[in-house]
Amino acid sequence: MRLIQRHPEPSSLRDRLVARGRWGFAVPHRPLFLGAALLASLSVPLWLAAQAMGVSDLAGLPPRLWHTREMLFGFLPAVVAGYLLSVMPNRSRRLPRHGVPLAGLVFLWLLARLPLPAPLMTPGILVIIDAAFPAAVLGALLREARFPGPWPHWPEIGAVAVLTVGCGASRALFLLETYPQFWQLWPGTLRAALTLALWLIFLVGGRLTPSLTRSACLDRKCRMAIAAPNGFDRWIMAVTLPALGLIVADLQSPAVALVLAVVGGLHLARLARWRGWLPLPLKVRALHFGYAWASLSVLLAAVAACGWTSGDTARHAAAVGALGTMSLAVMVRLATTLGPLPRADLRWCRSALALILLATPLRLTAGPTPSPLLWFAAIAWSLGWACSARALAQGWLSRPRPSDTARPL
């Protein structure tokens, strides 16, 4: 007869807190993804509530600009850092950053999100605080890049470098609002951050989506039908970067519209090669939805370049549809497969994905002014990210065993 060894639960409060802290800071994606999910869940209701109550200032910024900036320079860096800091060491068979060094990174991210005392609200300190987290992540990634892996991550590291500059520049440009020549650069900074997110979706999503789709297919013939990355994918990525530069420049002409329409159509053709209509689990199908919204946002930008619609429609398709869906799909993938037990609850993950997929069409049809549809979209968005936060906090809310938290991986 085989004996089953049972591990006792930590008895004292200190032991329980140590076990939960060791679980939470065992891999980078756990605290960073949880912080990003909570920020996404709270930012939209806070913005709408501040707008409804006539509040003109949130953490030193107008409510709408605060919401936009937090999603692009708070949410996006946390998701990118959590993904890269977890994946790069894992592929080179090394332990990821964990424990106290990881807690230091999370502290830098939180410091830029929280309101500061009045003596610290000086321009220089604010710029340094905003750029400290992505700069620290960039340094950690450069150290990881010394070790060999399946493929180089230099494009992603370059994106983190751009985010570092963007975080500091966005704060500096707002502090220079009294100078019109600098203030005019503020919208361009936001467009650059959003197009950078689109480029990362095309780059990282273009790797993950076909690979995970192929792994999820049980039928061998279906797996063989999914196209592997080849020269067609590299050619599309080569023409995508200058096309996204046209979105940053906010040019409006038929020629710009034609270029963006061609690039958006090419990405839809690339997506079709991955057979997203096959029977797939929701956490894999969400990758296809995220990539589709990124492609559609480029097509909507082409329509806006002709003057047939506003640029807000394309931006919301990119931010809510592409960035929201793809980020959550990647977070669910890592949270359910990487790190010591217990891992994220898949039931909460499915609910989160379904709500975010519902929020995107509601936001696109709501329009720019407050309306019932906008509130419904905000509720679906906030509930979706709240469900994801509940799933990501599984180890903090359950009772981890000492054996589950003894090792970082």
Say how far apart CA 75 and CA 79 lie, in whole Å. 6
* pLDDT tier for residue 13 given thresholds of 50, 70 and 90: low
pLDDT of residue 97: 79
Q: What is the pLDDT of residue 174?
A: 66
> How many Å apart are CA 195 and CA 323, to the nearest integer?
10
Query: Given a cut of 50, is residue 2 above it in pLDDT?
Result: no
Say which amino acid occupies 48: L
Per-domain residue ranges of the chain? 28-184
What is the pLDDT at residue 17? 54
Q: pLDDT tens across 356-382, in order?
A: 999 999 998 887 777 788 889 999 999
| Contact assessment for residue 382 and residue 71, using Cβ atoms and an 8 Å cutoff | no
Residue 58: strand, helix, or coil: strand
State pLDDT tens for residues 232-244.
Answer: 888 999 999 999 9
pLDDT for position 321: 93
DSSP labels, 171-192: HHHHHTTTSHHHHTTHHHHHHH
Could you tell me if 106 and 32 are in contact, meaning their C-beta atoms sit under 8 angstroms apart?
A: yes
User: Using CA atoms, how far apart are residues 392 and 87, in angstroms rounded to an integer?
Assistant: 17
Token pair in block for residue 46: 């806070």
Closest CA to 199 of 237, 171, 166: 237
Question: What digits encode the pLDDT tens for the residues 104-123?
Answer: 999 999 998 887 776 766 77
CA dihedral 91, 95, 97, 103 (to 10 degrees): 130
Taking only the tens place, the pLDDT of each residue in 88-105 is 877 666 777 778 889 999
What gap in Å lies between CA 287 and CA 268, rounded to an integer? 13
Instruction: Give residue 148's pLDDT.
Output: 65
Using pLDDT thresholds of 50, 70 and 90, give the confidence band for residue 179.
low
* Structure-derived torsion over alpha carbons of residues 14, 106, 151, 191, reported in degrees to the nearest 10: 150
Give the pLDDT band (50/70/90) at residue 14: low
pLDDT 10s digits, 295-353? 999 999 999 998 887 778 899 999 999 999 999 999 999 988 887 777 888 889 999 99
**Closest to 20 in 3D by CA, of 10, 8, 34, 33:** 10
294 is written with which tokens? 């990124």
Query: Residue 183 and residue 149: Cα distance in Å, rounded?
Result: 42
- For 119, which DSSP code? G
Task: Check pLDDT > 60 for residue 404.
Answer: no
72 pLDDT more than 80: yes
Collapsed DSSP state (helix, strand, coil) of residue 61: strand
pTM over 0.85: yes
Q: Cβ neighbours of residue 184 under 8 Å, at least 6 residues apart?
A: none
Structural contact between residues 228 and 293, judged by C-beta atoms closer than 8 angstroms: no
What is d(CA 339, CA 334) in angstroms, rounded to the nearest whole number?
Answer: 8
